[in-house]
Amino acid sequence: MKRFLTKSYAALIYLFLYAPILILIVFSFNASKSRGNWAGFTLKWYIELFQDRQIMRALYYTMIIAVLSAVIATVIGTAAAISIHNMRRLKKKIVMNLTYIPVVNPEIVTGLSLMLLFIFTNFQLGFISLLLAHITFNIPYVILSVLPKLKQLDKNLYEAALDLGATPLYAYRKVILPEIMPGIVTGLLLAFTLSVDDFVVSFFTTGSGVSTLSIIVYSMARRGINPKINALSSLLFLTVLILLVIVNFRSGENKNKE
């Protein structure tokens, strides 16, 4: 009985969380603009979505920024994680606490702080400022993805490679990086997902003429619910869901190998 109640409670929680999203996805195929009645199945809103130049332009900026910020943040975050791993205990604690702050900090604080920084330094808000902002908030997540793999690494591997005549750079490239690659890939996918999904930081750090999909959804919703928003939101949800499933699958696969 207790087990049944526990499962029922969990099912109700997930139903409460995901029922609105499921309704949104269903109504993205509704032939009527009204949300109160079902007028039949249609793909009209998806076709109109891909014919909307504003949305396609926002999709272009979203994908470019997500890919660039994820790759750059992964390179910087991986190098930072290796450096943090080699620090002494006290320094490592201090740096790790600093790394956790952007993760637990409210996004509105991060976005507003970056906007004030750009304005203070007379940096023009636009594509570059948006890209720098996404790189900034992605780096801690990459560090936290790579560090666990470094902790599991055999400390003697690097020293053994040096003893066999490898240079430090060659040892890192051929010995360390392949061992921590699952963590790097996880960090890359997580950074890409967070970048695609972000609204608050993007809203504060973008300039005129540069909009991401999340900003477009917000601006369209203010003018009234358009069925194209349902279609766009459905595609965003499915994209993020697929990426998260891949991340979790890779994490589970790595744990099984260990």
pLDDT per residue as tens digits for the range 58-80:
889 999 999 999 999 999 999 99
Q: What is the pLDDT of residue 254?
A: 55
Reported confidence tier of residue 141, pLDDT bands at 50, 70, 90: very high
Could you give the domains of the chain? 52-257 (1.10.3720.10)
More confident residue, 118 or 153: 118
What tens digit of pLDDT does each residue of 172-225 get? 878 888 888 888 988 998 899 899 888 899 999 998 888 888 888 888 777 766
Q: What is the pLDDT of residue 32?
A: 78
Rg (CA), the chain: 22
Place of tokens 């991340």: 247
Reported confidence tier of residue 163, pLDDT bands at 50, 70, 90: confident
Q: What is the residue-averaged pLDDT of the chain?
A: 85
Q: What is the pLDDT of residue 55?
A: 85
Q: What is the pLDDT of residue 161?
A: 78
Q: What is the pLDDT of residue 120?
A: 92
Is 130's pLDDT higher than 90? yes
Q: What is the pLDDT of residue 183?
A: 87
- Distance, in Å, from the CA atom of 64 to the CA atom of 162, rounded to the nearest integer, reads 39
Q: What is the pLDDT of residue 197?
A: 83
